[in-house]
Amino acid sequence: MRNLKHAFWGMLALLTLLWSAAEPAILQPASFFGVRALAMQFTGIIAIGCMSVAMVLSLRPRWPEPWLGGLDKMYRLHKWLGITALVVGIGHWLWAQGPKWAVGWGWLERPAGGGRPLIDNPVQALLGSLRGFAETVGEWAFYAAVLLIALALVHHFPYRLFYRTHRLLAVAYLALVFHTVVLVKFSYWVSPVGWLTAVLLAYGTWAATIVLLRRVGVDRQVKGRIISLRYYQGVRVLESEVEVPRGWPGHKPGQFAFATSDVTEGAHPYTIASAWHHENPGISFITKELGDHTGRLREKLAVGQEVKIEGPYGCFTFDDDCQYQIWIGGGIGITPFVARMKHMALQKAAPDWPDGQTADLFHSTTDVDEEALAKLAIDAKSAEVRLHLWIDARDGRLTGERIRAAVPNWRDASIWFCGPIGFGEALKRDFAARGFPVNRRFHQELFAMR
């Protein structure tokens, strides 16, 4: 999470510093309308910069994953950037419209108009002639972006509708690119802030085009076929096994993939619940009925059905040199640990983890299915992992204190958590209060893609 925050605040700080260096007027006394002009330029640069990076992240690029901690963290950054663009964009709009309203209400006096200086630069003259049109385009694109970003933040908004409407942000973004190119102060383009803005706009425009053409992740997609389906009534979980005969590069336990079984629903992310074996190329998913889409999968999927798989993604891969690992799976968050145990059982003769490394798995669940729990126990035994089953109704809430009591060497361990975000944050704070280095050794998957 530290790198995530560094990337977010670092980008805002860089744009602010470069803009300040390019704008000498910030050090000079100015009238209200002079401050307004500066504020509009600054908020415009920040808002379009955030939207540009968010647009690039929507392509699910792999190169930032190792530094940012995985695609799940990158989607968190994408969300922060979208919210920042929304808030700063509203400020930009208020600076544009507010003074006009104040003049109309008699609260402000419009500055005396003067003749515009003659513009010799033909490019600057062309942009100046488009100013009115660019203002209109930007205003309506802003309204569309506000609506679409707001809908994306409403979790009760159905995913299938979110999938269709969120793509339209690419259209609004392209309109705002035009707005920016025309209205940004012309002198900025020969300064570092202009160079950086131009790069962001170009990269963002390319990303928006890929999104509109529905080409996101196509080079990482393979076709598979469902070969088995199994439903666990007690926990309302569907286990599906997909055969991927060719093209899949393999995956590490703990990674996830996007699966598409219905093009109208789009791609949904699921943690992979199986180890990779080249001689038996298959992928398993364990899906809990949590929403409108997952609640219908049991009726919509069928053996023999073709699906599209994209990935793998994620850095929740259990890679460290700690002698002990503590795994905590809350509810359906048990999935990456199932994959890890299957991998360990498969690689027991030639382990690819540090010699002597051991793990304690804590599975906290409110729902109970004896068959599913029996399979979990078998996986733990095969991988030589110590299983601590925690049923809330029987055992109460799993806490940091109970984990520490069960694992005396917890100070020397790394912790890997997957489950409800609030549960994970509570455990993280609890261990941090006991001096545990959570920034280095508490790994939490943020499996929320909107």
The DSSP annotation for 83-133 comes to HHHHHHHHHHHHHHHHHHHHHHTTSS-PPPP-PPPPP--HHHHHHHHTHHH
- Which residues, 6+ apart, have CB-to-CB distance to 7 below 8 Å? 68, 77
In this predicted structure, which of 78-87, 119-128, 375-384 has the lowest mean pLDDT? 119-128
Asked whether the beta carbons of 57 and 200 are under 8 A apart, the reply is no
pLDDT of residue 449: 61
Q: 324-444 architecture in CATH?
A: 3-Layer(aba) Sandwich (3.40)
DSSP state of 272: B
State how far the Cα of 304 lies from the Cα of 113, in Å rounded to an integer.
Answer: 73
From the CA atom positions of the chain, what is the Rg in Å?
Answer: 26
Parallel, antiparallel, or unpaired for β 358-365 and 386-391?
parallel
> What's the pLDDT tens digit per position in 105-126?
988 888 776 556 778 788 888 8
pLDDT of residue 116: 65
> What's the pLDDT tens digit per position in 321-353?
999 999 999 999 999 999 999 999 999 888 999
State how far the Cα of 351 lies from the Cα of 369, in Å rounded to an integer.
Answer: 31
In this predicted structure, which of 236-240, 289-293, 310-314, 374-378 has the lowest mean pLDDT? 289-293
pLDDT of residue 133: 96
Cα 381 to chain centroid, rounded: 34
> What's the pLDDT tens digit per position in 42-52?
999 999 999 99
pLDDT of residue 115: 58
Asked whether the beta carbons of 119 and 128 are under 8 A apart, the reply is yes
Instruction: Provide the H-helix boundaries in 347-369.
Output: none
DSSP state of 148: H
Average pLDDT, the chain: 92
Please tell me whether residue 413 adopts helix, strand or coil conformation.
Answer: strand
> What's the pLDDT tens digit per position in 142-169?
999 999 998 888 877 777 788 888 899 9
Which residue matches tokens 């694109």?
141
pLDDT of residue 226: 96
Q: Which CATH number fits domain 2-111+119-212: 1.10.357, 1.10.260, 1.20.120, 2.60.120?
A: 1.20.120
DSSP state of 270: E
> What's the pLDDT tens digit per position in 389-425?
999 888 889 999 999 999 999 999 999 999 998 999 9
Burial of 148 (0-12, 13-18, 19+ CB in 10 A): buried
Q: What are phi and psi of 132, to 5 degrees?
A: -60, -45
Asked whether the beta carbons of 55 and 227 are under 8 A apart, the reply is no
Quote the crossing angle between the two packed helices 122-129 and 131-153, to the nearest 10°.
60
Q: Domain segments of the chain: what residues? A: 2-111+119-212, 219-313, 324-444
State how far the Cα of 421 lies from the Cα of 436, in Å rounded to an integer.
Answer: 19
Q: What are phi and psi of 444, to 5 degrees?
A: -130, 125
pLDDT of residue 245: 80
pLDDT of residue 111: 77
Average pLDDT over residues 35-63: 95
| Banded pLDDT at 95 (limits 50, 70, 90) | very high
Q: Residue 114, Cβ neighbours under 10 Å: how many?
A: 6
Residue 293 has pLDDT above 80, yes or no: no
Average pLDDT over residues 298-314: 93
pLDDT of residue 210: 97
The tokens of 445 are what?
Answer: 């998957």
Between 102 and 2, the more confident residue is 102
Please tell me whether residue 271 adopts helix, strand or coil conformation.
Answer: strand
CATH class as words, domain 219-313: mainly beta
Parallel, antiparallel, or unpaired for β 268-271 and 282-288?
unpaired
Instruction: Say yes or no: do domains 2-111+119-212 and 324-444 share a fold.
Output: no
